[in-house]
């Protein structure tokens, strides 16, 4: 396969991943599922707060999300979902 075609394919898949798996701190519907996310500039994987149980969340929101509402984060998800 030509290198240019391969590069375009990788860029296309990366664009789809970024579009489908991104979230905004404290406003993200993907955080209502069990899973993980990471923040730009941080090398740690954070746990999503998960679904609501008995009026509260299963886990508390991560400190980065709480301290930086409105910033972007990315979920470790499958973009085809």
DSSP run (H or E) holding 3: helix 3-21
The overall pTM is greater than 0.85: no
> How many CA atoms lie within 13 Å of 9's alpha carbon, on the beta-carbon side?
6
The domains of the chain are located at 3-75
Q: Give how far Cα 55 sits from Cα of 37, 51, 61, 64, Å.
A: 23, 10, 15, 23
pLDDT at 24: 92
Q: Mind listing the pLDDT tens digit for each residue in 49-77?
A: 888 788 788 888 889 998 999 999 999 88
């Amino acid at each position: 396969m030509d290198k240019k075609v391969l590069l375009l394919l990788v860029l296309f898949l990366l664009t789809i991943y970024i579009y489908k798996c991104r979230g905004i701190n404290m406003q993200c519907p993907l955080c209502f599922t069990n899973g993980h996310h990471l923040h730009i500039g941080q090398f740690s994987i954070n746990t999503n707060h998960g679904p609501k149980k008995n009026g509260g969340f299963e886990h508390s929101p991560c400190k980065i999300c709480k301290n930086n509402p409105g910033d972007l984060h990315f979920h470790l998800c499958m973009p085809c979902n």
